[in-house]
Structures are given as structure tokens and as C-alpha cells.
Amino acid sequence: MPRGSLLIFVAVCATWVVAGCGTAAPTDMGAVIPCRLSQFAVTLGPYVSEATGQHTLALRLKNKGSVTCVLDGYPRVGLYDSNGVIPFVVKRGGDQMISSDPPKAFKIPRDGRAFVVINKYRCDSGGLRGTRQIRISSDTRASESASITFEDPRKVPMPYRIPDYCGRGDPGSTLTVSPFVGTLRAALGG
């Protein structure tokens, strides 16, 4: 490769690494391991106020493991009631509330936090199934999950709204899911 072409190639690669573009992993990730979601505690995150007929629910994930780890990509999200999996359609990529920014890898130290945000339209005709548990896993480690359980979804403190299933084909039976993010602000802004 001619010297001028090599310098241009190096400059382009350096720009990609610094800007976090492409699929290159950030250089400061070092030898940090992927997170095991089974080592995370899930709680309700800050309340997200709506200006639409949607219900956005922020979930806070706390790293209870003993080491720093890396989260990247979109979570797998499953919602359950006493009859099993609720057949929500799960969509990635943003909507009116959730950002359409692509996932970016980030480190979570021990006791550090991350967020996953889910959003859906209300059930205009009433909910058919109420969510009792939300399980979160990753595409790379789908067998390991973190979860939050609600003894009675109707008794969750206001103003939180736990997703209810509206029925097949209803717009309120589609969930939009954010990537794993380090801040709530990074998940919002659709």
C-alpha cells in the first residue's frame, strides 16, 4: 500500500475509534467481560412523564456482581403473568419516546447501574392480561436473566404503569425496547 494511502487509512480508522462509529469496540473496553444479567437486580427506574397516549417504563439494573462488566446491544425482554409468556410484539429501534440511536457498549462497575426502557400505547378497550414479571436477558446470554416481579400490578405505586396486554393486533400490544444504556437520558428522545 502506498505511504499516502496508508496514512489516510490510519486516519480514517482512528476517526472511527474516537467517534465510536462502525462496529469497532471502544478501545477503553480492554479485557472487561460481558455482563451476566443473572448478577443484576432490577427495580423501577425514574418515572417518565408522557405527553402522549403511551406508557413508558424505565427499569434500573444494578450490577451486584464482583467485577466490572460490559453491556451492549438490545435486551431480550419477556413479560409474564400467571399463565406464562404474554405475547407482546417486541420492537427495537425507537418510537416517540425511546431514542432510535444504535446501541453502544459501556462498562458497568460493581454496584453501577444501567437502564432498559420499554414503551407501549395504552389499552383503549381495557387490558386482557396484566404483567406480573419482566425478565431481561441479552442476545449473547439468553439463558441468564434478571427480573422484576409485581405481586399485584394494580398496586404498583402511582404514577408507574406496568404494561398490560390489549389483545392480538392492538397497537397497545406492541412494546418498543431501548438498548441497554448507562443513563436514562440516553434511552429517551425518540
pLDDT for residue 14 is more than 60: no
**Residue 134 predicted with pLDDT over 50:** yes
pLDDT score, position 7: 37
Can you say whether residue 94 is alpha, beta or left, with left for phi > 0 and alpha for psi between -120 and 50 degrees?
A: left
User: Is 158:93 a contact under the CB 8 Å cutoff?
Assistant: no
Residue for grid cell 418498543: 176
Using one digit for the tens of pLDDT, what is the confidence trace for 54-68?
889 999 999 999 999
Dist. CA 37–CA 78, nearest whole Å: 14
Query: How much is the pLDDT for 155?
Result: 79
Fill in the amino acid letter for 113. Answer: R
d(CA 174, CA 98): 14
The mean per-residue pLDDT over the stretch 89-115 comes to 94
Dihedral sign computed on CA atoms, order 50, 54, 55, 58: negative
Measuring CA to CA, how many Å separate 174 from each of 20, 127, 141, 158? 31, 13, 24, 22
The dihedral built from the CA positions of residue 35, 36, 41 and 46, taken in this order, carries a sign that is: positive
Residue 136 neighbours by CB distance under 10 Å: 22
pLDDT per residue as tens digits for the range 17-52: 333 333 333 445 566 899 999 999 999 999 998 867
pTM: 0.80
pLDDT at 143: 79
C-alpha cell of 61?
A: 439494573
Q: Mean pLDDT over all residues of the chain?
A: 83
**pLDDT(1) > 70:** no
The more confident residue out of 152 and 96 is 96
Residue scoring higher pLDDT (51 or 166): 166
